[in-house]
């Protein structure tokens, strides 16, 4: 299993609207890809800037490639992101998951 983390920043004044966009647009996009196991959108406000983390889990690198293309560590952006994000980080971080636990 592969864990993938993307980071983005918006002005705090736009953060609620960006969170709504991510829930409406990004989550269904991720979930539509065979091999996507989970999507979590995290938010932390820090003064005038809100940080967003999209944390996803995937069955394999080939599943990520169906979502992000090649190279698989490139960030994927939506047209609407230009109205919210302060910058466009070019890549994401990915890790091999070596252990996990779920609630009983």
Domain holding 19: CATH number? 3.30.70.100
* Host domain of residue 33: 2-96
- Asked, for residue 101, whether it belongs to a domain, the answer is no
Burial of 13 (0-12, 13-18, 19+ CB in 10 A): exposed
Rounded to the nearest 5 percent, the helix, strand and coil shares of the chain are: 30, 35, 35
Q: Is residue 10 part of a domain?
A: yes
Dist CA 32 CA 10 (whole Å): 26
Specify the number of domains making up the chain: 1
Whether residue 17 is contained in a domain is answered as: yes
Peptide bond before residue 71 is cis, with ω within 30 degrees of 0: yes
Query: Is the Cβ–Cβ distance between 2 and 94 less than 8 Å?
Result: yes
Give the model's confidence band at 101: pLDDT under 50 very low, under 70 low, under 90 confident, else very high. Answer: confident
> pTM for this structure?
0.91
Predicted local confidence at residue 14, as pLDDT? 98
Give the pLDDT confidence of 33-85 residue by residue, as tens digits: 999 999 999 999 999 999 999 999 999 999 999 999 999 999 999 999 999 99
């Amino acid at each position: 299993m592969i864990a993938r983390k993307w980071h983005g920043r918006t002005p705090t004044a736009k953060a609620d609207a960006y969170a709504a966009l991510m829930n409406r647009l990004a989550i269904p996009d991720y979930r539509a890809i065979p091999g996507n196991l989970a999507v979590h959108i995290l938010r932390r406000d820090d003064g005038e800037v809100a940080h967003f983390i999209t944390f996803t889990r995937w069955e394999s690198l080939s599943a990520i490639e169906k979502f992000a293309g090649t190279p698989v560590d490139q960030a994927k952006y939506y047209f609407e992101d230009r109205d919210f994000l302060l910058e466009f980080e070019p890549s994401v971080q990915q890790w091999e998951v070596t252990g996990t636990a779920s609630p009983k």
